Structure 1
Amino acid sequence: MVRKFVLILAAGGLVIGSAACNTVRGVGQDLESAANTVDKAT
């Protein structure tokens, strides 16, 4: 029973961690794109 709980917890953490990495990477790309657009406009 405890082993199943630990396995489910680990799998959930892996999914959440993976989603967080993609989100942070996406925000960085958006900021870089906005900065490039501002540079081109000036």
Structure 2
Amino acid sequence: MTRFILLLAAVLSLSACNTIKGVGQDIKKAGETIEGAAKK
């Protein structure tokens, strides 16, 4: 039972990292778009 809980915690933490990474990439792209519009 303890192994199952540890495995579940590991899977959830990995999926959270992917979600946070995706949000960071979206924010970066939005910033680049705004920067490009400001240069025009």
Q: TM-score, normalised by structure 2?
A: 0.90
Q: Deviations over 1:1-42 (max 9, x none)?
A: xxxx10000000010000000000110010000000000011
Q: Name stretches of at least 5 consecutive residues in structure 1 with no aligned partner.
A: none
Between the aligned partners of 1:7 and 1:41, the Cα distance in structure 2 is 51
| Aligned sequence identity (%) | 34
- Residues of 1 paired with 2:26 and 2:11: CA distance? 23
Question: Where does residue 12 of structure 2 map in the other structure?
Answer: 16
State the distance in 1 between where 2:23 and 2:30 align. 11
Choose from 24, 30, 39 the match for 1:34.
Answer: 30
Runs of 4+ in 1 over 2 A off after TM superposition: none
Structure 2, gaps ≥5 residues long: none
Count of paired positions: 38
Provide the aligned C-alpha RMSD in A. 0.4
